[in-house]
Amino acid sequence: SANASLKTLCTVRRLFLLLGIAGLLVGTAAGAWLLAKHLKKGQLDQAFTALQEPDAISACSDSEEEEPVVRGARNRVSFRINVANALLEAQVEGRPGWLLACREHWSLSLGTLLCRQLGYLRMTHQKGVNLMDIKVNDTQEFVQVRPHHEGSLEDMWQVRSRCESGRIVALKCSECGLRPGAARVVGGADAPPGRWPWQVSVYQGSQHHCGGSVLAREWIVTAAHCVHSYRQLQASSWLVFAGIITRASIRQEDGVSVKKIIYHPLYNNNSLDYDIALMKLQVPLNFSDAIRAVCLPLSQQDLFQGTQCWVSGWDTRPDQAQVTETLKEALVPLIGTKRCNSSCMYAGELTARMLCAGYVQGKIDACQGDSGGPLVCQDEFAWRLVGIVSWGQGCAEPNHPGVYTNVAQLLPWIYDITE
């Protein structure tokens, strides 16, 4: 009996020993396989890792960024429309002062192109003006369109000492970016009537759903994420209310029905890239002191970190889920994209079609009720739609400022749709 027990014990020990050796061999093989897989994965992900470290996701930093948040085109010729007499003027690199534009070889399409470059949606009027009818210095120079011109807008001009025809170009573009005078109000306060005349409330059925901005009498721009999930519904189920400050003043019969909705074909519902949509109204809006269009960004304008801009809307605050009754406004500075994409903020989630604005401390932000609403910045000429409220983490949370659609990156699509 003792011998039998001893034999059994030995057999069990041998069995455990064999199992241990087998386990060791299996573990070694598995380890080798995992190591090989890891090394292979490291090779496959090498490009991705290079993007994430350190360029796409930089370390947290409070340092100033030299790169503009919104980058304009680098052109040798820039233009403006003289507000006093509507004359088209050009500034040529290397030449002092502003040059007048000769009427020679001018075309209707040029007027549209120049209005768009200046941030207007369309051209409304152009004509030739006799030089004899205005006062011109003897040293005044001119630009003239090259005959049989081809190529870019800036390459089609030549400098002249006089206009052969004796006529120069006057140009009028669609009015935008102007508002009736209003006292400055500190960010976070109620917005006075007429202060943001391009702000609209977009209703789905009988509920405020998103904000939006007036681009023209018949065109509203908003965020694609506001409408994409409802794309199976009829466009006419959407209503736009313009010229309102308090939601209590809204009457359903004052809403303008939407005729069609076009969201960007590259819109991504997961990343919110290309987060922009256009609404064409059934009937045009009647412009007034309370209802006006906002300008689009200038094609040659740079906007840097710290530029003070304004966001407005019927915001949803962290302590209440209800949309506020009165239109709110807040002053928010632009934040450098590199900083906003850093490891302590959005860790590489921003694309070229996005920009950040707000406070790192998280004191003021745009919230859900503002989705699709405007982020506007003022220059010496007008208020311009720089961003569209898109997304963010929470509401006014530290290190998570608001993220906006970068309108300047999407101008060709806007012009193509609204043409």
Q: Which residues are catalytic?
A: 225, 275, 371
Spatial distance between the Cα atoms of 101 and 77, rounded to a whole number of angstroms: 12
Q: What is the dihedral of CA 306, 185, 199, 73, to 10 degrees?
A: -20
User: For residue 147, how many other CB atoms are within 10 A of its CB?
Assistant: 9
DSSP-derived secondary structure letter, 294: P
Q: Are the C-beta atoms of 99 and 163 separated by less than 8 Å?
A: no
Give, as one character, the DSSP assignment of residue 102.
Answer: B
Q: How far is CA 404 from the centre of its chain?
A: 6
315: exposed, middle or buried (Cβ count in 10 Å: 0-12, 13-18, 19+) = buried
To which residue do tokens 């609204």 refer? 418
C-alpha gyration radius of the chain: 30
- DSSP-derived 3-state class of residue 89: strand
DSSP codes joined into one string, 175-221: --S---------TTSBPPTTSSTTEEEEEETTEEEEEEEEEETTEEE
- Bridge partners (DSSP) listed for residue 239: 203, 257
What is residue 364's DSSP assignment? S
Q: Judge residue 253's burial from the number of C-beta atoms within 10 Å of its C-beta, 0-12 exposed, 13-18 middle, 19 or more buried.
A: exposed
Nearest 5°: phi and psi at 354?
Answer: -130, 155
CA distance 323 to 51: 39
Count other C-beta atoms under 10 Å from residue 112's C-beta.
19
